[in-house]
Structure 1
Amino acid sequence: MLSLLRHPNLVNLIGYCAEGDQRLLVYEYMQLGSLEDHLHYLRPDQKPLDWNTRMTIAAGAAKGLEYLHTEANLPVIYRDLKSSNILLGEGFNPKLSDFGLAKFGPSGDKSHVSTRIMGTHGYCAPEYLTSGKLTMKSDIFSFGVVLLELITGRKALDDSRAREERFLVDWARPMLKDGMNILNLADPLLRGHFSKSTMKKALEVGFLCIQENANCRPSIGDIVLALDYLTSHPYSAHEAKRVSVKGPENNESPRETTRMLDRDFNRERAVAEAKMWGESWREKRLQSAENSSDGSNT
């Protein structure tokens, strides 16, 4: 399957060896290792990923998944999207790797693919775990977990934590629903150096992705639009104040804190807003390109 897939955010298969009993695949070298390494297994001499890099990685991974879902000759369900399968190259450019569990998506009038339950605990969508029914929205759930990993710095499943905090989704979902103190979800290694509004929007996208009802999760196209918008508004340490993550700011009311992530979250409105961010940004880029072209022709 991998030999048929070509995209800047997918690891390239360079060649293979099939000699005697030897079966080897040769992939391009990804010099910065995996996202998992940079989030959970930092060496003493390594710096943690900054906010802008994390959002760039999320956007790139989403584009790789979008290619699998909508642009490949046959739609592909990745089935094993996780931080250890996102490899990082020069400039922290992310590429999806390891397509051993990937399946071609449903064809004709079928809504899902029935398959033996496989994957990594902590990333699998609930409907897939209970029924073995696999859809594109199963990948969206897994992507939401990865996005929460990037924001919180926590593992998808961490047996060293208290029982109620072992699964990242179970720990984060109540805070996302409640909307109070959501800035406390931020990875302590960020040391408050992130845009508060951008983080809230990123959490909004993550919250939509991990909805228990698969039909309430956004499409990968909507996610790409939203994340493109967020990466087009990078955090600048010189232009923004450090964010306190100890609780709500004194001048911020609970209503304002929960404005984007309130208890009765409206999925359609949220997706429309996410699309609006991305489409507005894309239109500005196109307009800028047209103006530049007109200027060069005069």
Structure 2
Amino acid sequence: MGVCFSSGPTQNSSSLDRPYYSGSASTNCKNVGITETTSSSTVNRQFSVIVSGSIYRRPLSLPLPPPDGLIPKWPNLKVFDFEELKSATNNFRHDTLLGQGGFCRVYKGWLDEDTLAPTKAGYGMVVAIKRLNPESTQGFVQWQTELNMRRLSHPNLVNLLGYCWDDDEHLLVYEFMPKGSLDNYLFKRNRNLELLSWNTRLKIAIGAARGLAFLHASENNVIHRDFKSSNILLDGNYNPKISDFGLAKLGPSKGQSHNYNPKISDFGLAKLGPSEGQSHNYNPKTSDFGLAKLGTSEGQSHNYNPKISDFGLEKLGPSEGQSYVTTMVSGTFGYVSPEYCLTGALYVKSDVSGFGVVLLEILTGMRTFDAKRPTGQRNLVEWTEPLLSSKKKLKTIMDTEIKGQYSLEAAWQAAQLTLKCLKFVPQERPSMKDVVETLEAIEAIQNPQFAMYISTTPSAGS
């Protein structure tokens, strides 16, 4: 798995500290074309996708508030107004801020457990409230994507409780995960946090694998696109839940793949042709600077170096073995699969590569990229891949915090699984269902008393 970019993220960035990146769609929630309907409060909003220099508009089915200002309800989700969430966070006070990034800020809020009405800080149920940046065009797309993921429910996926759409304000309300994200524990960002034992790490790896396997199951067919340790949240008992579905993608029908074939649309500037033998004389006037760029000096050119960003762009994936091809790469540095990074091809098994990186972080306690490490060791995958096949060398890279807690055989089996997940060719990687089964077998090696319970463990797709 090669290095796709010249530099990694800053070491002090939070799990939400990601650079702004326009993603695969050029969208503005304030200037979205609307196709009116008369029979429903749902309209087709259109956003533009740049495809080989052309603009392809595809519809987004979004609820439009009716004239009385009410927002249509989606099943099983609480519809909040902005003032309720403002109250729940004490006016989005700074000390309730959990994290922030280019597209959003996440706040801690308090709601009544039964009614979900806002309460005073310290009373009722704690929730996480994601407030999308109203100035971020990509944030609107991610907000809608996360809402579309509401239909999926699994013990290892973070639970969406409700949403708010109030003029330019778009918010999502999630269950609160008290232990925070996995990366804080692995990379020891806070010395006051408990150390994760080997058994707890296995438990987290198995739970996260089950969540991904559920997303990949044929009836769901979802590619997460930003699977990483900071998107694995932990409840009070260290049960993991996958979060941040903004980049997820739904897949096409079985055996098909997504082809982004642009269709001509938006005839607002079309002109009827002149009579035969005549021509139009166009005196151009410059307009619409939405995608304009400031020019370079003479003899220079623009260099479009892609930067990876957050999974508000999650995609529901194509069928296994099929792929998307896109000219825009989204994700996070160090976790993006080589085929997606190098060619734009996106497979279900692109997520498996990301899982392999996280599993490597769990084994070593080291981040995927660290500029502070010696030259040759900064990229964790490139440095450790040759060491994972040797039991003797494996000991040298295992996290010293768990020394003496694991059997060498269990650690070696986990290392072999990591190598399989990191295979360069997507088709050579195991499915997440196979990953779950392998991890459960490793847990049985480490803890023989668990072996009898493996057969009763919920299946990966359940």
Same fold per TM (> 0.5)?
Answer: yes
Q: Secondary structure at the match of 2:237?
A: helix
Q: Could you tell me how far 1:106 is from its partner in structure 2?
A: 4.3
Q: Superposed, which structure 2 residues align to 1:1-298 within 5 Å?
A: 1-70=148-217, 73-107=219-253, 108-110=255-257, 111-115=322-326, 116-177=328-389, 180-234=392-446, 282=454
Q: Could you tell me how far 1:282 is from its partner in structure 2?
A: 4.3
Identify the range of structure 1 (195-204 vs 177-186) with the bigger mean alpha-carbon deviation.
177-186
Native 8 Å contact 1:82 1:146 kept in 2: yes
Q: Secondary structure at the match of 2:217?
A: helix
Native 8 Å contact 2:214 2:220 kept in 1: no
- Structure 1 residues 11, 130: CA separation in 2 closer, same or farther (over 3 Å shift)? same
Letter in structure 1 aligned against 2:161: I
Letter in structure 1 aligned against 2:407: S
Distance 1:109 1:18 in 2: 34
Native 8 Å contact 1:9 1:96 kept in 2: yes
Native 8 Å contact 2:389 2:416 kept in 1: no
Distance 2:149 2:366 in 1: 30
Distance 1:50 1:95 in 2: 18
Residues 196-235 of structure 1 deviation map (CA, whole Å, 9 limit, x = unaligned): 1111111111111001121211111110101122234445
Q: Secondary structure at the match of 1:165?
A: coil
Distance 1:113 1:90 in 2: 37
Q: Could you tell me how far 1:163 is from its partner in structure 2?
A: 3.0
- Structure 1 residues 166, 26: CA separation in 2 closer, same or farther (over 3 Å shift)? same
Q: In angstroms, what is the RMSD of aligned CA positions?
A: 2.3
Q: Secondary structure at the match of 1:227?
A: helix
Letter in structure 1 aligned against 2:343: S
Native 8 Å contact 1:194 1:235 kept in 2: no
Residues 113-167 of structure 1 deviation map (CA, whole Å, 9 limit, x = unaligned): 1222111111111111110000011100000000010000010111111231111
Q: Could you tell me how far 1:45 is from its partner in structure 2?
A: 2.6
Distance 1:56 1:233 in 2: 14
The count of residues paired between Structure 1 and Structure 2 equals: 244
Distance 2:370 2:393 in 1: 22
Distance 1:208 1:98 in 2: 25
Structure 2: gaps (5+ residues): 1-147, 258-321, 458-462
Letter in structure 2 aligned against 1:46: L
Distance 1:131 1:45 in 2: 42
Letter in structure 2 aligned against 1:139: D
Structure 1: gaps (5+ residues): 237-277, 287-298
Native 8 Å contact 2:391 2:412 kept in 1: no
Q: Could you tell me how far 1:191 is from its partner in structure 2?
A: 2.8
**Which structure has the larger Rg?**
2
Identity of aligned residues (%): 42
Residues 67-105 of structure 1 deviation map (CA, whole Å, 9 limit, x = unaligned): 00005x430001000000000002100000001111113
Residues 41-71 of structure 1 deviation map (CA, whole Å, 9 limit, x = unaligned): 3423323100000000000000000000005
Task: Spell out structure 1 runs of 4+ moving beyond 6 A.
Answer: none
Native 8 Å contact 2:368 2:380 kept in 1: yes
| TM-score, scaled to structure 2 | 0.50
Residues 164-204 of structure 1 deviation map (CA, whole Å, 9 limit, x = unaligned): 11111101101124554212221011133212111111111
Native 8 Å contact 1:77 1:102 kept in 2: yes
Letter in structure 2 aligned against 1:76: V
Letter in structure 2 aligned against 1:35: L
Native 8 Å contact 2:163 2:171 kept in 1: yes
- Structure 1 residues 177, 212: CA separation in 2 closer, same or farther (over 3 Å shift)? farther
Letter in structure 2 aligned against 1:5: L
Native 8 Å contact 1:122 1:156 kept in 2: yes
Higher share of residues assigned strand = 2
Q: Secondary structure at the match of 1:17?
A: strand
Higher share of residues assigned helix = 1
Identify the range of structure 1 (136-145 vs 37-46) with the bigger mean alpha-carbon deviation.
37-46
Partner of 2:57: none
Native 8 Å contact 1:17 1:25 kept in 2: yes
- Structure 1 residues 104, 79: CA separation in 2 closer, same or farther (over 3 Å shift)? same
Native 8 Å contact 1:106 1:113 kept in 2: no
